[in-house]
């Protein structure tokens, strides 16, 4: 039975083109006797998570509208070892293969595919461990330099930013509930802003 394939091309920057990848993959598909369902192209860096065109192909795979995905090389498809193995596992559950023009084929129904997937899963776990270690080391080094993480006690970034608007709306006669709804704040926050503002002059006068 003729395999239906989706061709996926990706370049990293806008000054690059998918033309060569598309041409090479169409020729490869013709030689292999594949039926090309369509060609999906996009510009996205290797670490970019939002790949709309790739998501469209994954949707086709999940609906069994294709039998395989064709790429020039695996790095065009996966953002990382972890991402590659995770998408491979999804494709396997849908019985869809990922085929590279180089001849490397990830079909988890074959011994070769299962071996490669097992090796890549080990590499993915190693990559996760390295990432966790880098994060921990970075945080520890930053803390040693005195850097603090997260919102500190007493910080009211959003409330302080919107305080002038809140006070103006109070002067204009808006209710606290209406102000909270319009500025996407809680009624308690609005009340606290007004309370701090009213207490401020008293504090200043007491200090004189």
CA distance 118 to 124: 10
Of 103, 85, 83, 77, nearest to 6 by C-alpha is 77
Is 208 inside a domain boundary?
A: no
Looking up tokens 């000054």 gives 15
Q: Do 85 and 30 belong to one domain? A: yes
116 with 162, same domain: the answer is: no
Domain match, 18 and 107 both? yes
Whole-model pTM? 0.56
Q: Is residue 207 part of a domain?
A: no
Q: Are residues 112 and 22 in the same domain?
A: yes
164 and 82 in one domain?
Answer: no
Residue 207 pLDDT level (bands cut at 50, 70, 90): very low
Specify the range with the lowest mean pLDDT, choosing from 3-17, 118-132, 145-159, 186-200. Answer: 145-159
Assess contact for 42 and 50: CB atoms under 8 A.
no
pLDDT reported for residue 206: 44
**Are 113 and 190 members of one domain?**
no
Q: Is the pLDDT of residue 194 over 80?
A: yes
Instruction: Identify whether residues 168 and 112 lie together within a single domain.
Output: no
Query: Which positions are annotated as active-site residues?
Result: 12
Could you say which of 123, 139, 169 is where a domain stops?
123
Q: How far apart are CA 65 and CA 182, in angstroms?
A: 46
Residues 8 and 107 in one domain: yes
Q: Percentage of the chain with pLDDT > 90?
A: 25
**Domain of 39?**
4-123
Same domain for 116 and 14, yes or no, is yes
Write down which residue in 74, 103, 123 finishes a domain: 123
Sequence-distant (6+) residues with CB within 8 A of 99 are 5, 68, 69, 70, 71, 105, 106
CA angle 172-174-176, nearest 5°? 135
* pLDDT tens-place string over residues 26-59: 999 999 999 999 999 998 875 556 789 999 999 9
Specify whether 190 is located in the same domain as 114: no
Position 152 pLDDT exceeds 60: no
Residue 96 has pLDDT above 80, yes or no: yes
Total structural domains within the chain = 2
Residue 58 in 3-state DSSP?
Answer: helix
Name the strands in the sheet holding 97-100, side by side, starting at the edge strand that comes first in the sequence: 35-43, 4-11, 68-71, 97-100, 105-106
pLDDT tens-digit readout, 76-94: 888 777 788 788 888 888 9
141 within some domain: no
For residue 66, what pLDDT band results from cuts at 50, 70 and 90?
very high
Residue 134 belongs to some domain of the structure: no
The answer to whether residue 144 sits within a structural domain is no
């Amino acid at each position: 039975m003729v395999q239906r394939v989706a061709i996926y091309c990706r370049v990293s920057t806008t000054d690059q083109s998918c033309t060569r990848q598309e041409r090479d993959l169409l020729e490869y598909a013709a030689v292999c006797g594949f039926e090309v369902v369509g060609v999906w192209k996009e510009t996205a860096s290797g670490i970019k998570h939002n790949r709309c065109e790739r998501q469209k192909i994954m949707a086709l795979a999940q609906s069994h509208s294709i039998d395989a995905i064709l790429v020039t090389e695996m790095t065009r498809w996966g953002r990382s070892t972890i991402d590659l193995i995770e998408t491979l596992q999804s494709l396997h559950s849908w019985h869809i293969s990922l085929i590279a023009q180089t001849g490397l084929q990830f079909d988890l129904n074959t011994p070769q595919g299962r071996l490669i997937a097992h090796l890549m899963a080990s590499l993915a776990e190693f990559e996760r461990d390295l990432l966790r270690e880098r994060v921990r080391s970075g945080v520890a080094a930053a803390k040693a330099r005195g850097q603090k993480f997260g919102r500190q006690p007493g910080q009211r970034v959003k409330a302080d930013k919107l305080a002038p608007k809140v006070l103006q709306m109070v002067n204009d006669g808006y209710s606290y509930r209406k102000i909270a709804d319009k500025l996407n704040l809680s009624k308690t926050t609005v009340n606290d802003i007004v309370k701090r503002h009213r207490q401020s002059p008293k504090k200043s006068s007491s200090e004189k």
